[in-house]
Every structure is written in C-alpha cells, then in structure tokens.
Amino acid sequence: MGKLLVKKSKVLKGEVEVPGDKSISHRALIFSSMGEGESIIRNFLFSQDCISTMNCLKSLGVSIEVYDSIVRVKGNGIKGFKEPENVLDAGNSGTTIRLLTGLLSGLPGVFSVITGDSSLRRRPMKRVVDPLRKMGANIWGRNNDNNPPLAIKGEKLVGESHILNVASAQVKSALLIAGLLAEGETCVTEPSLSRDHTERMFQYLGLPLKREGLTLKTHGIESYKNKDFNIPGDFSSAAFIIAAGLLVEGSKVIIKNVGINPTRTGMLDILKEAGAKFNIIDTWEDGGELIGNLMIEYSDLKAFEIKGDIVPTLIDEVPILAIIATQAKGESIFKDVEELKVKESDRIKAVVDGINKMGGKAKVIDNGFVVYGPTKLKGGEIETYGDHRIAMAFAIAGLIADDETIVESDSINISFPTFTETIKSLGGNVIELQS
Ligand SMILES: O=C(O)C1=C[C@@H](OP(=O)(O)O)[C@@H](O)[C@H](O)C1
Ligand SMILES: C=C(OP(=O)(O)O)C(=O)O
C-alpha cells in the first residue's frame, strides 16, 4: 500500500492546474456513448473512477480510444448498446453505478450485472432502483435490492413523475438518462438544487429538457448527434489546493482553469463568510459550464456554519472544510450532512476521529458534526478508510501539523491522480512512501 508522509511546510507559492472534472468526465463519456457519431473529449480525468465508467461502456460495445490524452468515443446511438459478456465493474464509483443503472434499465432485452468494490457494495442503490422500477425497470440487488451487485434486465421504460427525498445529482441524472430512453414524459423534482452538469449537457447537446423551479421534464427520443467536450478542472480537487493556500502561513497560490459552476462552489460562499482571501480572476464559458482562474492567499479565518440548501453544493468539500475549521476561530457547525455517512466511507466518523487524533477538537452531533478552532495540530497516522477525500483532507492538515502525518495514498487515484506532485510543485513537504 502506498502512503504519503507529510510535514509542516513553509509558504506555498505558484500557479497550478487541477485535472478534469470527475462528474463531467463521467457524463461526457456516457452521453457520447448514447449519441451518434464521433466525440472528442479533451482534458478528460484519467482517474480510477472515470476509467471504471470507460471500461463499463466499452463492455457495452462502445468504441472508446485514447491518444495523446484525448478520448475519442464513437457512439452507436441510444439503441446501439450490446449485452455485456461479463459483470460490469464500477469499482469505487457511485456515479458510475447509479448513472449506468439508469441507462441499462432502459435497454430492452439487454441483461447486465453491475457491481463494485467493498465500499461501493455497501452504498445505497434503492434511491435509483425504486424510481426506475416505477418506470418499468427490472432490477434486483442484495439486501432487498439496495446493494450491488445489481442485476438488470433492460426494458422499454415508461415516463413517470418522481419526487426525490434526497438532493442527489446521481439519482437525478440516472432518471433523466432513463427518461431519454422511455416512452412519454419523465419529471424529476429534487428537494434542493444539486450539481446540474447533466442539465447543462442536455442543453449543450440539444436534448429535450424544461426546468420549472426544482422540477425537470424530459421525454423519450430516437437519436441525437454527438458533440465534442472540453472538460474544466475539477473544483472538488481545487478545494484541497484552496485549503492549502488558506492554511499555510504566507502562501499565495493561483489555480487555473477550474470549473466554477455555482452548483459546485458552495465552499467559496462559506469561505467568504469566514473571511478567506481569494479572488476569481478571470471567467469564461465552455460547453455550457462556467470556468475561471482562482487566486488564494493565507487568511485569518473565523468559524462558519453549514446547513440546508447549500449542502449539496459543497457535499464533497465537507472533509476539507472540516480541516479548515480546525484553524478558524470559534465553533464551526456542519448540519444536514447525513449524506456523508453513505459516501465512500462514513465521512462524518472519519473526519471527527481524524481531527481528534491530530489534537484538534471535533464531535458528532445529530446529522452532522462540530469543529472547535483554532487548534494546534500534531501529526499521526490517520485512518482514511480507503476514501480519497479523507486521505487528501488529512494530507493537507499535515502541511500545518507539528511532527509527521501519514495517510494511505492509493485511494487518491480515484479522483486526483496528480495530487502529490501538485502539492510538491507549490513547495509542500510531501514524501511518497512505498510499502
Ligand atoms: O453526480 C455526480 O457526479 C456526483 C454527485 C454527488 O453524489 P450524490 O448524487 O450521491 O449526492 C457527489 O457526491 C459525487 O461525488 C458526484
Ligand atoms: C462521493 C464521491 O463520488 P462517487 O459518489 O461517484 O463515488 C466523491 O468523489 O467524493
């Protein structure tokens, strides 16, 4: 198992880019596979999660080639998928299994089984299985159809109205994909706005979609033509660099070409309230997504509160926001974050235990947790539960901790394969240990 050894670091300075957005990379592959003709995807995220999606789609007969870091997909149209010869492996990726379950359910006559690693096999799938069944889908799974492996016998689906009880972009996207394959109209209403990359992609590709408040409406189609994608840097990866810049004394960091879709940047709103010094220095649009360059400076921070509708817009940033909270003056409260319990690990437990182990102060509350700051952090070996966001969050904490911090690092390839070299290029004291 690979490990990272992180030591207290002097100022971080420089200009970096983070790799392509994970959510958009998955979707660019899936939509290019469903469309007709060739699509070129630039700045695709070559991380384990996106490679899982790529391999699943190849097993469904889609031609996907990679040359010079560019992905070329030849879509066979929404009716052009073949039955996979073997079990589909979504690895560690919730996005892969949930979005593909939407697609597979709507392929008449196609039998498939989709599964993943031990973390994914514990994650809840009922949230996609139940609404898809209302559309006529045939899906079975372990634990009363809640856990992978899922077995699916594709069927001609019928449009339905769905009112979701979690704000989940994965569920919303699975249902919109199924809606394109279904007869008639499909409506999806979410309790608050989750990331809207799927909706933006529908618009970019000219697919049918109407929004009325939190309700989306689509309908079945016969075919559509593919378009190319230029994927912006992943804000969720940039979040770790933003935190490093804010926390390491004297730092000044520029991150270029980052996706700043407002349904992803709740962290910036919270940080502004907390007194963080950052600027979005240029912005532009590409493929329906907003992109910008960010400048971050070391800041004196005050405590903050996260709750309600902002949560889905910073859901993957909660672990790193918790590390930031250890250095913010006062009691930072994280409420309504119960979804964190069903991510790659129970992120509430992982974050609270890790912070306390490093000498910080955090405690679990109902549906969330509290962090008290500022506290001096000491090093230690932190349990990541094989969860990439936990590993990276505590690696960043290690940059300001006394002594040495050690985290497992294999999981980092799930979303940010160049994390270590990026931190090193800014002057961070990180060493890769092999064992
Ligand atoms: O749709 C997506 O690409 C994602 C949606 C979110 O999950 P949920 O839909 O479960 O909230 C997020 O946590 C995940 O990293 C990616
Ligand atoms: C939750 C995440 O991803 P997924 O649900 O796709 O596994 C994540 O990247 O933090």
The whole-number pLDDT of residue 435 equals: 67
Is there an atom of ligand 2 within 6 Å of 53 CB? Answer: no
Cα separation, 151 vs 232, whole angstroms:
34
Q: Does the ipTM surpass 0.90?
A: yes
Question: For the segment 383-429, what is each residue's pLDDT rounded down to a tens digit?
Answer: 999 999 999 999 999 999 999 999 999 999 999 999 999 999 999 99
**In the predicted model, what is the mean pLDDT of the chain?**
98
Is there an atom of ligand 2 within 6 Å of 93 CB? Answer: yes
Distances from the Cα of 315 to the Cαs of 140, 239, 296, 340, 345, in angstroms?
28, 12, 21, 8, 14
Mean pLDDT over residues 166-182, rounded? 98
Which of 25, 125, 190, 194 is the best mutation target for the ligand 1 pocket, counting ligand atoms within 8 Å of the beta carbon and taking the most?
A: 194
Residue 353 backbone zone (phi > 0: left; psi -120 to 50: alpha; other: beta) = alpha
Question: For the segment 148-158, what is each residue's pLDDT rounded down to a tens digit?
Answer: 999 999 999 99
Which of 29, 93, 170 is the best mutation target for the ligand 1 pocket, counting ligand atoms within 8 Å of the beta carbon and taking the most?
A: 170
How many beta carbons lie within 10 A of that of residue 15, not counting itself? 13
The whole-number pLDDT of residue 382 equals: 98
Is there an atom of ligand 1 within 6 Å of 49 CB? Answer: no
Contact status, residue 296 vs residue 179, Cβ threshold 8 Å:
no
Mean pLDDT over residues 51-74, rounded? 97
The whole-number pLDDT of residue 434 equals: 79
* 130 in catalytic set: no
pTM for the predicted model, two decimal places = 0.98
Q: Which residues share a beta bridge with 352?
A: none
All domains of the chain, ordered by start, with CATH? 3-20+232-433 (3.65.10.10), 22-230 (3.65.10.10)
